[in-house]
Amino acid sequence: MNEIDELKEELKQAQLAYQMAAQMSQFKAGFLARTSHELRSPLSGMIGLHQLILADLCESPEEQKEFIAQAYKSALKLLKLIDEIVAVSKTEYGSNRLNPESLQLAEIFTEIDRLTHLQAANRNLKLAIVTPDPQIVVYADRSRLIQLIFNIIDSGISLMKTGTIELSISQVTSSRVTFEIDLECPIALWQEQETIEPNFEGKDLGEIRQFLQEISLSANMKLLLSKTLLETMGGSLEILDCTHQNDGQPLTRIVLSCKKNQDNN
């Protein structure tokens, strides 16, 4: 290779490095924006509770004490949400080490069924988990894989009022295993929603408790975290609107792909 060819190769590598850095920078900015958006509502809730207390709007010392207790619970929930986001971020950037290993997907599906079937039954939803052949193996971190699949199904259970959630294998190749989560709900439910600033003025304690109980990461954020976790293990995640395949009834399909062998890129 002559000097000109070497310079061309160096230029090509520099361009690739720049593109990767730009994509990473864009992802970081988007991730930060979504995280800020996600934490705004519970933080505003805490501020609202303290404003009620400071404005002496409580009807009795007992109610004031209850508001303080609710604000404390809200703070703990907010801390938990932050911990979830930080844990995924650390995993993505290598601070939290993954422990990938060969896993029987049938065992993973069985564990997902154990973690979610009661929640689905309590919401009168049908949960169909099609157990794959025990010989189908993926290469991933067990706890992280279970976590990301659970987060998606748990979000579906929270979003849906009726219908079926189905987890099944769709394709197995020499290098990858693809499985799908079908949820009978509109894809719009998984998209980013506008943050509503809570206003506790005029609300009774029961309504305030209800708001605090519902503080959690949105389905959109959980999907982003699941996608990030899967990509750190060499996999991929895609969300599709498959209503046209379901006789016009809403159907959201989340397609997940995992490495089958340690050496796959």
Structure tokens belonging to residue 23: 């994509």
User: Measured over all CA atoms, what is the biggest interatomic distance in the chain, rounded to whole angstroms?
Assistant: 85
Residue with tokens 């998984």: 190
Q: Which two tokens stand for residue 72?
A: 């404390």
Query: What's the confidence (pLDDT) of residue 9?
Result: 63
120 to 76, 106, 162, 163: CA distances (angstroms): 26, 20, 10, 10
- The structure tokens listed for 247 are 């006789």
Q: Please give the pLDDT value at position 194.
A: 59
pLDDT at 177: 95
SS3 state of residue 140: strand
The torsion defined by the Cα of 209, 221, 178 and 126, in degrees rounded to 10, comes to 20
pLDDT the model gives residue 105: 94
Report how far residue 118's alpha carbon sits from residue 219's, in angstroms, rounded to the nearest whole number: 19
Residues of the chain with pLDDT under 50: 18, 20-27, 29
Give pLDDT, residue 120: 95
| C-beta of residue 152 within 8 angstroms of C-beta of residue 189 | no
The answer to whether domain 3-259 has CATH 2.40.10.170 is no
pTM of the model: 0.69
Q: DSSP alpha helices (H): ranges in the chain?
A: 3-54, 61-92, 105-122, 142-159, 205-213, 219-232
Q: Give the C-alpha separation, 170 to 181, whole Å.
A: 10
pLDDT at 127: 96
Question: Residue 168, CB half-sphere, CA atoms under 13 Å: how many?
Answer: 10
Residue entry with tokens 């060969």:
102
Helix axes 105-122, 142-159, angle to 10 degrees: 30
Q: How far apart are CA 46 and CA 48, in angstroms?
A: 5
Residues, the chain: 265
DSSP string computed for 23-70: HHHHHHHHHHHHHHHHHHHHHHHHHHHHHHHHTT--SSHHHHHHHHHH
